Amino acid sequence: MKLYGFWRSLASLRVRIALNLKGLKFEETPIDLLKGQQFADTYKALNPQSVVPALILDDGGPPLFQSLAILEYLDETHPQPPLLPKDARGRARVRALALISAADGHPLVVPRIRNFLEKELHVDEAGRNRWLQHWTLKALEAYESHLAGERETGRFCHGDAPTIADICLAGQVFGGKFFNCDLSGVPTVNRIFAECMKIEAFDRAQPLKQPGAPSQVSH
């Protein structure tokens, strides 16, 4: 398999973690979002939306796109270890938790949004940083409000094994670190993130361990 991703892309991170958890080998080609490589015609032929990730399977079929759809595909075609619970209600909870980041948190802070705020709406750097911190923290607080009180929460978001909810939560916490959010108000999130990062599949996938990553993140 061939993954088109980027070291700091949190959507690419999700796919990398899932591939690692499933024990699947892949080769990653970096698409530098900060340099605009996603807009090159060669990449748009793979993903016309000009976003990462795109995953090329070995079957010669069209690229898979949208990280959550890729996670579901990997879970259906490589069921072990499972990334979703077996019961429908559990699956609904895990998918909904995943979407707190994948739909409501992360899409607000990607490069194309930061560029539009700066170039089109002339929002200054302080305003852009408030935006990034506000929406990143809102999603983390939404996680906390569910995870802290619900009986399904275990060592991970749902029981004692990682699911797609943990994969998305981990990405959201990396976003919180990128944007210097105050994470002191989300202790359950922090606890689960720490559990995730003990797993080699998560650790090996993390942004700063990818080729092309700097030693530290600046916005």
How far apart, in whole angstroms, are the C-alpha atoms of residue 202 and residue 149?
A: 25
Minimum CB distance to a second copy, residue 102 (Å): 6
Under the binding rule (CB under 8 A), the answer on residue 91 touching a second copy is yes
Q: Does 146 bind a second copy (CB under 8 A)?
A: yes
Window 43 to 82, contacts with a second copy (CB under 8 A):
48-49, 51, 61-62, 64-66, 68-70, 72-73, 76-77
| Residue 154 sits in the site that holds a second copy (CB under 8 A) | no
CB of 184 to a second copy, least distance (A): 19
Cα-based torsion angle of the residue sequence 50, 56, 59, 65 in order, rounded to the nearest 10 degrees: -50
Residue 100 touching a second copy (CB under 8 A):
yes
> Measured from the CB of residue 130, what is the shortest distance to a second copy in angstroms?
7
By CB under 8 A, tell whether 183 contacts a second copy: no
* Residue 34 touching a second copy (CB under 8 A): no
| Binding of residue 115 to a second copy (CB under 8 A) | no
- Which stretch, 16-24, 121-129, 194-202, 204-212, contacts a second copy (CB under 8 A)? 121-129
- Asked if 157 and 165 touch (Cβ cutoff 8 Å), the reply is yes
DSSP summary character for residue 104: T
Q: Which helix (H) or strand (E) holds 71?
A: helix 67-77
**Which residues, other chains included, contact 16 with Cβ-Cβ below 8 Å and sequence gap of 6+?**
3, 5, 26, 28, 205
Shortest distance, position 126 Cβ to a second copy, whole Å: 10
The DSSP result for 126-180, as a single string, is HHHHHHHHHHHHHHHHHHHHHHTT-TTB-SSSSBTS--HHHHHHHHHHHHHHHTT
CB of 17 to a second copy, least distance (A): 18
Contacts of 154 (CB under 8 A, 6+ apart): 160
209/148 Cα distance (integer angstroms): 30
Q: Does 37 bind a second copy (CB under 8 A)?
A: no
Binding residues for a second copy, per CB under 8 A?
A: 48-49, 51, 61-62, 64-66, 68-70, 72-73, 76-77, 88-89, 91-93, 95-96, 98-100, 102-104, 106-108, 113, 116-117, 120-121, 123, 127, 130-131, 134, 142, 145-146, 150
